[in-house]
Structure 1
Amino acid sequence: MAENEHNPLLSAHPSSESSLLIHLHPLVLLTISDYITRHTLRNQEGPIVGAILGQQHGREVSLEHAFECKLVATDDGNVMLHQDWFEERLQQFKDVHKPPALDLAGWFTITPKSGPQSHHLPIHRYILHKYNESAVLLAFHPSSREDGPVGGKLPLTIYESIYEGDSHATAGGEAGDNEMQVEGEDALKLRFRELPYSVETGEAEMIGVDFVVRGGGGAVAVDPSTKLGSKKAKAAEKKTDTDSVVLSPEDEELIATLTAKANATRMLHSRIKLIRAYLTSLPPSYLTTGVESTSSTENAAQPTSPQHSEINHTILRSIQALLQRLPLLIPANSQAFEQESLAEKNDVSLVTLLGNLSNGAKDIKELGRKFYLIDNHRQARRKTAGVPEDMIPMSAGGAGAGAYASPTADFERKDGLSFKEFEQLSAMQASK
């Protein structure tokens, strides 16, 4: 409630009084993130505004798709949606996403953490009066991620708009509690009330988000202020191209997996530190084991001192339930668990060994096939040169392995006679 005192556009009513259930889809977050990134790197001027499409069934609202909007300046210095362009683009998205039919469910923009500002009211009123009287506002806070923890709460807030009098807008109702609003809607003012939301992911969205996360391992941020004509910029660009080529799909998948595990470990560590800090700040009576004297129970009934945190029994019960589930993660029989792990490790090693043996047999088979083809080729060339089949080449030099320059080349028979000696022996036998 501290922020409501500084921002008069926020309602004093708590968000628990609203019955709206918001289901946010990751595609909306990806679209907003991409729009903000392009707008920042290109040094574009003007606010960031976009529309959100979704469905509404009773008090349940799903935010499924989003797109950026074209803005025009007004005479009073504010900005508004380009009416013709917006209607055409909205109809195009409705035609594409027919089953199920989507409608304008709200819009998004960038706001500080304190909430919407006065220059956001014209666009919101325009959407309320012309398209959807229950449209929501998704306020994105990029500045909150600079010093925030990794894997923490999403830097966004979803608001619904309500009409209430000035007496409800102030925290204490100072001057308006005793005055009755009799002028109707003109006496009411537009306020924003924060809504709780949940992230809902479909199967197709899960595949798309997983692809984006895996591809983020080889992503490279480019500084727009760098001069491309300088030698340093060209060298950096060449180095970036070299690094991007080295990364294979397996490397990118490994980097994405390790990054996700590192973020999960950091988040777990921060949550454990938070639980420990909360338990440490409780009164000493809540840190006992429950088997001590009844003095601890008497101390628990006493009010907490200012240096201790407020006691929340719901949180304490949740912590106790979490602690009771920890033994389930530890195997009851460690020896049997080790044997089973060793057996699985041996099975994996055996499968790997069989795979290596199969690859070796395949390579040997391929080598035999190639040797058979080369041997057949040599036999064919030998027959073409007119060399008897019982003669083999004495060396593989000269014109190449198995080459026959002439029928009178040096050959050695299997019985030890050369080709010339064989010719002389044949002539002597013929003369006789």
Structure 2
Amino acid sequence: MDTDDSVVLPSSTVSGLSLSLHPLPILNISEHLTRLKLQSNSNSPFDSWVALLGTQNGRDVEIVNTFELAVEADGELVDHGFLVSRRDQYKQVFPSLEFIGWYTVAQRPTARHIALHEQFTGYCSTPLLLLLQPSISLAASSDVNAQNLPFKAYEPSIELRERKSRSVYIEVPYTVETGEAERIAVDWTARGGGSGTSLESHLQTQRAAVKMLHERIMLLVKYVSDVVAEQKPKDHSVLRSLSALIASLPATENIAFRKEFETEYEDVQLTAFLSSLTKSANILNDLVDKHIVVTSSGSGERAPGGPRRRGMGMGMNRGGDWDRH
């Protein structure tokens, strides 16, 4: 097998594709990478596969949306059932979108990507490969364009060398295409998602207030300890204020508070239990209905009065079977 560096043709080889990348896939990929890095607690690149959805008209391709792919236990095979299901769900809402490629995290395409590429050829004859290269530093420039982003797009191709053919990748230049609605959404996200910034500011304020309260309480505790140890003189006005403050607080062993807390906790747990029990009863009800339909169809008999819905109770008829009523 060829080495990793040999699967990409030199930059002098020009691709005939005209590729446009929309902001939504960029946001989805960035969020996906950040979430997986936090879950794995690692900064090193890892395997993560995402399907690219878009439109293709001749050699004009647009990447419009993405969705995450599920992999099999060995981590080398795509869950094709999940891929087809999610693709069809998207097509119900966006009929024009097709599967046009996949994305992963890597510095450059390797022979392994060529092997993985074969799993997607059943959904697209030439699926594109989009690589996220998080280690690439962005160039400091006032002119923001596609080349400032840590993304590389590649088109699969066939190279003939010494009368032998092999699969290779050709780098595809791309542009960032955006509409008015996408500009508004990106600007809203960049500003913190509306209430996200205000919530963060509120939480920071609360944290600072709690920290200050803790410091002042510790100062009062130290003062009382020093007074008890006769290291500081007594200030009766301060001690009276402390006594009034303590009297206004609920007792540490407040039995009424504890009982109220336990009651509310038990109510919440009981509500969750009843919800689970109701769901289980509903599933059992459907199972019983299906069982009765199957058994009545198999015997060719029909209960007098036609089919009957299951009620809240069950009784036994003369034949010894359970009758619903």
**Normalization by structure 1: what TM-score?**
0.42
Q: Report the CA distance shift for 1:13/1:149 in structure 2 as closer, same or farther (over 3 A).
A: closer
Letter in 2 for 1:141: Q
Q: Which runs of 5+ in 1 are unaligned?
A: 168-175, 182-186, 221-237, 247-432
Greater RCO structure (CA 8 Å; 6+ sep)? 2
Among residues 215, 237, 240, which one is paired with 2:192 in the alignment? 215
* Inter-partner Cα distance in structure 1 for 2:152 and 2:114: 16
* Inter-partner Cα distance in structure 1 for 2:106 and 2:196: 27
State the partner residue of 1:8. Answer: 6
State the partner residue of 1:288. Answer: none
State the partner residue of 1:20. Answer: 17
Among residues 95, 99, 110, which one is paired with 1:117 in the alignment? 110
State the partner residue of 1:142. Answer: 134
User: Residues 321-400 of structure 1: matches in 2 within 5 Å?
Assistant: none
SS of corresponding position for 1:31: helix
* Inter-partner Cα distance in structure 2 for 1:11 and 1:79: 25
* Inter-partner Cα distance in structure 1 for 2:52 and 2:102: 5
State the partner residue of 2:56. Answer: 56
Q: Report the CA distance shift for 1:244/1:144 in structure 2 as closer, same or farther (over 3 A).
A: farther
2:4, 2:110 within 8 Å by CA — same for their partners in 1? no
Letter in 1 for 2:184: I
State the partner residue of 1:96. Answer: 93
Q: Report the CA distance shift for 1:26/1:63 in structure 2 as closer, same or farther (over 3 A).
A: same
* Higher Rg of the two aligned structures: 1
1:322-373 CA-to-partner distances (Å, cap 9, x unmatched) read xxxxxxxxxxxxxxxxxxxxxxxxxxxxxxxxxxxxxxxxxxxxxxxxxxxx
* Inter-partner Cα distance in structure 1 for 2:183 and 2:206: 25
**Normalization by structure 2: what TM-score?**
0.55
2:132, 2:150 within 8 Å by CA — same for their partners in 1? yes
State the partner residue of 2:175. Answer: 198
2:11, 2:171 within 8 Å by CA — same for their partners in 1? no
User: Residues 252-263 of structure 1: matches in 2 within 5 Å?
Assistant: none
1:81-111 CA-to-partner distances (Å, cap 9, x unmatched) read 101111111111111212xx11001111101
What is the Cα deviation at residue 162 of structure 1?
Answer: 0.3
Among residues 28, 33, 38, which one is paired with 2:35 in the alignment? 38
* Inter-partner Cα distance in structure 1 for 2:157 and 2:128: 10
Letter in 2 for 1:41: L
* Inter-partner Cα distance in structure 2 for 1:243 and 1:217: 18
1:253-310 CA-to-partner distances (Å, cap 9, x unmatched) read xxxxxxxxxxxxxxxxxxxxxxxxxxxxxxxxxxxxxxxxxxxxxxxxxxxxxxxxxx
Q: Does 1:126 align with 2:103?
A: no
SS of corresponding position for 1:137: strand
Q: Report the CA distance shift for 1:127/1:103 in structure 2 as closer, same or farther (over 3 A).
A: same
SS of corresponding position for 2:101: strand
State the partner residue of 1:161. Answer: 156
CA RMSD of aligned residues (A): 3.2
SS of corresponding position for 1:125: helix
* Inter-partner Cα distance in structure 2 for 1:88 and 1:44: 30
What is the Cα deviation at residue 160 of structure 1?
Answer: 0.1
What is the Cα deviation at residue 242 of structure 1?
Answer: 3.0
SS of corresponding position for 1:70: coil
Q: Report the count of equivalent residues.
A: 199
1:51, 1:68 within 8 Å by CA — same for their partners in 2? yes
Q: Which runs of 5+ in 2 are unaligned?
A: 209-325
Q: Report the CA distance shift for 1:245/1:73 in structure 2 as closer, same or farther (over 3 A).
A: same
Letter in 2 for 1:40: K
Q: Report the CA distance shift for 1:217/1:13 in structure 2 as closer, same or farther (over 3 A).
A: same
* Inter-partner Cα distance in structure 2 for 1:215 and 1:244: 19
1:172-225 CA-to-partner distances (Å, cap 9, x unmatched) read xxxx3xxxx2xxxxx4111001011111001211111010011169868xxxxx
* Inter-partner Cα distance in structure 2 for 1:154 and 1:138: 12
2:19, 2:60 within 8 Å by CA — same for their partners in 1? yes
What is the Cα deviation at residue 12 of structure 1?
Answer: 3.6
SS of corresponding position for 2:77: strand
What is the Cα deviation at residue 66 of structure 1?
Answer: 0.5
2:53, 2:97 within 8 Å by CA — same for their partners in 1? yes
What is the Cα deviation at residue 56 of structure 1?
Answer: 0.5
SS of corresponding position for 2:72: strand
1:137, 1:160 within 8 Å by CA — same for their partners in 2? yes
What is the identity percentage for the equivalent residue pairs of Structure 1 and Structure 2? 30
What is the Cα deviation at residue 14 of structure 1?
Answer: 2.6
What is the Cα deviation at residue 244 of structure 1?
Answer: 8.4
SS of corresponding position for 1:66: strand
* Inter-partner Cα distance in structure 2 for 1:92 and 1:148: 39
Letter in 2 for 1:56: Q
Letter in 2 for 1:188: S
